[in-house]
Amino acid sequence: MTVPSDSNAAADRLRSTIRDAQTADVDDDSPCDDNETLSEGLVPCRFVLFGATGDLTHRKIVPALYSLSLQGLLPDGFHLVAFARRDKTDESFREDLRTSIREFAPSQPSDGPQWDKFASGVYYVRSNFDDPSGYVRLAERLKELDIVGSTPDRRLFYLATPPEYFSQIIENLGAAGLNNPVGNDGWSRIIIEKPFGSDLESARKLNAQLGPVFKEDQVYRIDHYLGKETVQNILVLRFANQIFEPLWNQKYIDNVQITVAETLGVEGRGDFFDSVGIARDVVQNHALQVLTLIGMEPPVSLTADAIRDEKVKVLRCIKPFAFEDVANWTVRGQYGPGASPSTGEELPGYRQEEKVDPYSSTETFAAFRFQLDNWRWAGVPFYVQAGKRLAKRTTSVRIQFKAVPEVLFARLACSDVSANVLTIRIQPDEGASLEICSKTPGPNVRVHPVKMDFQYGESFSSPIRDAYERLILDAIRGDASLFARNDEVEAAWAIMTPILDAWRDLSCPLFPNYPAGSWGPEAANNLLRDGAVWMPPG
Ligand code: BG6
């Protein structure tokens, strides 16, 4: 709680009590030991990685797998089989992975017995994605590994390639019979990275190509935001606390703001980003996923389908944007040259970034006012903004409650009876805070807002796992709760596609329209009602 300093000692005592309780909870013999629970369902399997020489593999997937291995969370008999186009051997690929661990997970040991154990289970199959004979060789290699480990054929295919290769990989896996596991204990699953389509039509087409080869319960569409602890905590916060749910509706909530702000630019991915823009890259998936968790009804259980059913309902009740709504309720931006507010470092404009068209009209910032047409949310705007090269890195949700009536304390002079705000900090500085009004100490009755603050880092001793670790683990264990279902992805595209189409047809704003290191274009403020402003995050 941000309270007057004489209360800090009490707050410290409370934190220390919570910490002690936490330490007691994670006692090794506890039935709630996390690693013990997570290791349930971990059976020997083969992890086949397509796009194994790409950036995502080296930055995220392999560090996540290695970290799981170090924590003893990869099943015995786990093998990583890379399938990629470049000419490499098992040995040279293992060395590449060692280099990526040194670069992207420098705190992990990149030699010694732990590394050797992990690396000895890594294999490389060289093939073009459209070459059927490569898949036959892959099938043979998998069979050999099944025999060595005397395990049933359990395969997890991970498509981390550019999306244009998805269809041919899916088709070839099917043609090689790798989609169908053999025997009772076998299984075959496929993880598909985003972007899952680039509009409604392409997402439907991809789902239609997947359908005949992999059944829906074999498909894991990844959105790494769902693997973030703080995103999962939205459901806990809402449904494990009696105090929020009764207030979580249009009677008490004035508006919801979701911000996904990055300080980074396009980081060497200029060619990819320039062809998609922030609305496709971040809003259609990450921001809308957060919105569904804020907006959904309580699921009937915690099963994958019960949760996803409710999320889909939220997407379906977002009021579709007519052409004229797009001009009124969306704002696009692109950054020009600027400076970092924290270091003063000069930053290039988007059009000066590597691999970006110098006349590009791709948006690097987008803001929206969504309306959920249902009983719970009628009349409550959901504002969503996302942008690159903004002033501060933050992903947060601000639930702004309605103001108290203009009576009693609200009439007092020298007082600030602000409306309550619940802020969920997804990253960084993970946690949540609740702004409430309090009497300031003294002989007069004066009211000022104070903040109750929960920080993951202070309340829990265990570190926050990387989202990819959690998602890969879940896919191995066959838990699809944190993955997007086909109808969910299509429903999200059904909202975004008319907007993207209208942006194409409307004249483009004069880009650049915000300096790098700022909070985005001024016009984003026009989306907010009653002259309100975007809440400063954090
Ligand atoms: C990815 C986008 O999905 O998410 C990137 O393609 C973006 O452009 C990234 O930078 C943000 O993820 P995180 O976990 O850093 O918030």
Catalytic residue among 58, 79, 286, 448: 286
List Cα–Cα distances, 388 to 217, 263, 273, 520, 521, in angstroms: 35, 6, 11, 9, 12
Told to judge if 58 belongs to the known catalytic residues of this protein, a careful annotator would answer no
263 Cα: distance to centroid of ligand 1 (angstroms): 11
Under 8 Å between Cβ of 259 and 396: yes
Looking only at the bridges linking them, the beta strands covering 79-84 and 46-50 are: parallel
Among 267, 273, 286, 389, residue to substitute to test ligand 1 (most atoms within 8 Å of Cβ): 286
User: Using CA atoms, how far apart are residues 210 and 160, in angstroms rounded to an integer?
Assistant: 16
Q: Which domains does the chain have, with CATH numbers?
A: 33-193 (3.40.50.720), 226-525 (3.30.360.10)
User: In the structure, which protein residues have their CB atom closer than 6 angstroms to any atom of ligand 1?
Assistant: 194, 224, 262, 281-282, 395
pTM over 0.75: yes
Direct distance between the N- and C-terminal alpha carbons of the chain, in angstroms, rounded to an integer: 14
Return the ligand 1 atom nearest residue 262 CA: 10
pLDDT at 536: 65
pLDDT at 533: 72
> In terms of C-beta density within 10 A (0-12 exposed, 13-18 middle, 19 or more buried), how is residue 242 classed?
exposed
Q: Find all residues with CB under 8 Å of 497, minimum gap 6, and list them.
A: 199, 200, 201
Q: How far is C-alpha 24 from the chain's CA centre?
A: 31
Selection from 97, 28, 25 nearest residue 57 by Cα: 97
247 Cα: distance to centroid of ligand 1 (angstroms): 32
Per-position pLDDT tens, the chain of length 538? 333 333 344 344 334 433 443 433 444 445 566 666 666 667 888 999 999 888 889 999 999 999 999 999 998 888 999 999 999 999 999 999 999 999 999 999 999 999 999 999 999 999 999 999 999 999 999 988 877 656 778 899 999 999 999 999 999 999 999 998 777 788 999 999 998 999 999 999 999 999 999 999 999 999 999 999 899 999 999 999 999 999 999 999 999 999 999 999 998 889 999 999 999 999 999 999 999 999 999 999 999 899 999 999 999 999 999 999 999 999 999 999 999 999 999 999 999 999 999 999 999 999 999 999 999 999 999 999 999 999 999 999 999 999 998 888 878 887 888 899 999 999 898 999 999 999 999 888 889 999 999 998 888 888 778 899 999 999 999 999 899 999 999 999 999 999 999 999 988 899 999 999 999 999 999 898 775 678 765 4
